[in-house]
Amino acid sequence: MYNNQENSYSTGGNYSSGYQGYNYGENRSYNYYETPRPKKKKKTGKIIFIIFVLFLGFGGSAVAGYFLGNNYFSKNVTSTSVVEELPPVEEVEIQKPEISESGIESTQIVTAVVTDVTNVVEEVMPSVVSITNTSVITQNFWGQQFQSENQSSGSGIIVGENDTELLIVTNNHVISDATELKVQFIDGSIADAKVKGTDVNMDLAVIAVSLESLERETISNISIAVLGDSESLKVGEPAIAIGNALGYGQSVTTGVISALNRQIEMSEDGATTGTLIQTDAAINPGNSGGALLNVRGEVVGINSNKIGGSTIEGMGYAIPISNAKPIIEELMNRETKDKVAAAKKGYLGISGLDVTYEVSQMYGMPMGVYVAQVYDGAAARAGMLKGDIITAFEGSSVNTMEDLQGYLEYYEVGETVLITIQRPGAGAYIEEKISVTLGAQTQIP
C-alpha cells in the first residue's frame, strides 16, 4: 500500500521502507538513495502462462483461463458476492452460503409452492354431479339408415331448488339430443332428470330432478353451490376444477387463472363467440358442465371441454359465472317439460334451411332457420311467411333446423308457442314475435 503521509511503501508482513537506511532483519528498511538488493522474481506468472499455452493446444483455453485465473486470484484478492433479493414466494427454503473452489460465494434457493385444496373440495364436491346422456344416433350406410344407442358423460352443478325440483346447471352440449338423462350424486345414488331450459348460444342448460325421487340420505348429503363473482378474478390466482372426467366419476384438478376475457369461438362454424376464462387446470371430456372454483370454494366458471377441444394442452376454458347468472336464473324459472310421444308431437307446418355463419356474413342475413316454404297449417294460420328467419323458440336461441326440431319434441298438438322471427323489410330485417298453435303432422303434405 502506498501512503503519502508516511511516504513509505509496504507490501504486508514486516517489510517497510523509509529514510533510515536498511538492514536484513525482520523489519527491513532501505535508503531510497541506495541501490536495494535484487529480489528474486516469482515464477508464478510464467508457470501459469506455460500451462495456459498447453491448454490452448488441447482446445481448453477458456476452461483453463477461467480456473487458473480464479485459483490465482482467490489466493491474492478478496472477492465479495452480491445476492439479489428475490420476490416473496409462498414457501422458500434458502440454504446457507457455500464457498466454491473459485472462492466465490454462492447461494442455492429452492422454492416449493404447495396448495392444499382438500377443505375446498370437501365443501364443494356435494354440489357437483355426474350426468349421463343416452341418445340415438342415426347413420347412413349404403343408402340405408341405421340407428344405434349412444352414451356420453358430463358434469353439472346444483344451483338451486324449488318446491318439487332440484335444479342443476350444465352445458347445453352435455344434454342435447338426449332420450334419457341420468344424474349421479356424491353418495352414488342415481336419478332421472328432465330438461328445464337451454341456451344454445351460451352453451348452457338447466335440468331438474324431482325431489320425490331422491332418498332422504341423498338429500342430506348434497348441497347447493355458492356462485361467486368472475368479474373480480385476477390472472394468476389459484383455480380448482371439479367434474366427471372421462366418465370415471368426480375428480379434481388444480391450476391458475391463465387469462380473462378470452374471445373464443364457441361453435365449430365460428358463428358464436364467447368471452371466456382460460385456465391451465386440466379440463377433459366429461368435465364439461362442471365447476371452476376459486380458493374460497365459490363457483367462478362453468367448465367446457368442447370449447378447448383435444388439439391443445394446458389451456381449458370456462364460461364466466357472472355472464351465466342471468341466463341460469331465466332457465330455472321455466316450466319443466317431458318429451312427448311421436303421435302427439306438434308441428309448425314449414320447411326450412339453416342460415349458417358463412351465409349470414355473405348475404347479410340473421343466423337462424330460413323459412323456405309455409304449408297450410299452424305457421300459415299464425301469419308466418316464406323468407322469414326463425331466430328463437320460447325464448331459446335457434341456429339450425335441428335446434328447432329439438324444441318441438317437448310440445304437443294444440299447445301455443312464442316464436321470434326476423322479417325482411326496407333494406333491413325487422324482429317480430308471433304466437303459433301447433298442429298435427298430417297437415303437412
Among residues 44, 98, 105, 103, which one has the least CA distance to residue 71? 103
Phi-psi region of 205 (alpha: psi -120 to 50; beta: other; left: phi over 0): beta
Catalytic hit among 173, 230, 388, 396 = 173
Cell 323489410, located at residue: 425
Instruction: With both helix axes pointing from N to C terminus, report the angle between 44-57 and 61-76 in degrees, rounded to the nearest 10.
Output: 160
Map the chain to HEC letters: CEECCCCEECCCCCCCCCCCCCCCCCCCCCCCCCCCCCCCCCCHHHHHHHHHHHHHHCCCHHHHHHHHHHHHHHHHCCCCCCCCCCCCCCCEEECCCEECCCCCEECCEEECCCCCCHHHHHHHHHHEEEEEEEEEEEEEECCEEEEEEEEEEEEEEEEEECCCEEEEEECHHHHCCEEEEEEECCCCCEEEEEEEEEECCCCEEEEEEEHHHCCHHHHHHCCCCCECCHHHCCCCCEEEEEECHHHCCCEEEEEEEEEEEEEEECCCCCCCEEEEEEECCCCCCCCCCCEEECCCCCEEEEECHHHHCCCCCCCEEEEEHHHHHHHHHHHHCCCCCCCCCHHHECECCEEEEEECHHHHHHHCCCCEEEEEEECCCHHHHHCCCCCCEEEEECCEECCCHHHHHHHHCCCECCCEEEEEEEEECCCCEEEEEEEEECECHHHCC
Q: How far apart are CA 201 and CA 173, in angstroms?
A: 11
Nearest to 261 by CA among 328, 200, 319: 319
Geometric angle at alpha carbon 194, from 299 and 327, rounded to 5°: 40
Q: Is 173 a catalytic residue?
A: yes
| Catalytic choice (130, 153, 288, 304) | 288
Active site residue 322: no
| CA 357-362-367 angle, 5° bins | 35
Q: Which of 130, 153, 176, 203 is catalytic?
A: 203
Q: What does the alpha-carbon distance between residue 101 and residue 78 come to, in Å, rounded to a whole number? A: 14
360 tagged catalytic? no
Residues that are catalytic: 173, 203, 288
